[in-house]
Amino acid sequence: MPGNITSVPAVWLWSVCLLFCIRLTSVGAAPICTNAQAGCHVLSLANLFDRVIQHSARMHGISNDLHNEFEQFFLPSKNQIGRISRNCHTSSILTPNGKENAQRMAREELTEVILKLLVAWRDPLWHFHQSMSHHHDFNNFSSSKALEISDMVHELRKGVEKVAEKMQNLGMIGNFVNNLASPETFLTSDSAEWRLMRNYDLLYCFRRDSNKVQNYLKILKCRIVPEHGC
């Protein structure tokens, strides 16, 4: 029967398609597993924190390297007046300036500060990388680091968002103002200020801010999940 002959490959084809569809739908599911979902590797909060802190440490290290390189290539004159009044565009963000201040700060606020800082640096670093790639007086080492920095900021921001989400799920922190949807909102009129800054100053500011982020994350972690490493 010709009908039977043609139906067999058709059935097979449909089954293959079905299989693929199922796999695709499963992939499209949310990558983060909830606690109830079985077969999912659930990362603990401590584990998430460790990863994020490691990431921020690395980011700070790279920013430090970049800043030192800039200092070698473009030694600013000693008596630069602008050095005193160096003003980073993130100065408007209120950040705790000491250990006690950071420890006294509420978790939600601290998390918010971290996220604000990370968001604020996304665009400047991207433009910094662009300008670096156009300048051929830098070696490729610096250029690749600049690109790496902008990527790392982006990834770190996502990581911190996930941590915040998990903390919220676990009830460790209350609802905090999630400005992630519109990062432009809390960039004040100084938002364009960074365009006026020179690369060296950008790097100086970023080095400082990455150190802030690293410290805040560590303090947050030791307050919330004070297990090993605190």
CB 170 within 8 A of CB 138: no
Number of residues lying near another protein (CB under 8 A)? 35
> 103 to 122, contacts with another protein by CB under 8 A?
103
Q: Quick check: 86 binds another protein (CB under 8 A)?
A: yes
Q: How far is CA 106 from the centre of its chain?
A: 21
Determine the Cα–Cα distance for residues 205 and 216; give it in Å rounded to an integer.
16
In the bound state with another protein, the residue whose beta carbon lies nearer, of 157 and 221, is 221
Determine the Cα–Cα distance for residues 200 and 67; give it in Å rounded to an integer.
7
Query: What are the angstrom distances between the C-alpha of 29 and each of 22, 26, 64?
Result: 11, 5, 39
Q: Which stretch binds another protein (CB under 8 A): 22-30, 33-41, 76-84, 144-152?
A: 76-84
Determine the Cα–Cα distance for residues 152 and 29; give it in Å rounded to an integer.
25
Q: Quick check: 60 binds another protein (CB under 8 A)?
A: yes
Nearest to 95 by CA among 73, 118, 114: 114
x-or-dash pattern for another protein, window 126-165, by CB under 8 A? Answer: ----------------------------------------
Chain residues that interact with another protein, rule: CB under 8 A = 53, 57, 60-61, 64, 68, 78-81, 83-87, 91-92, 95, 97-100, 103, 208-209, 211-212, 214-215, 218-219, 221-222, 229-230
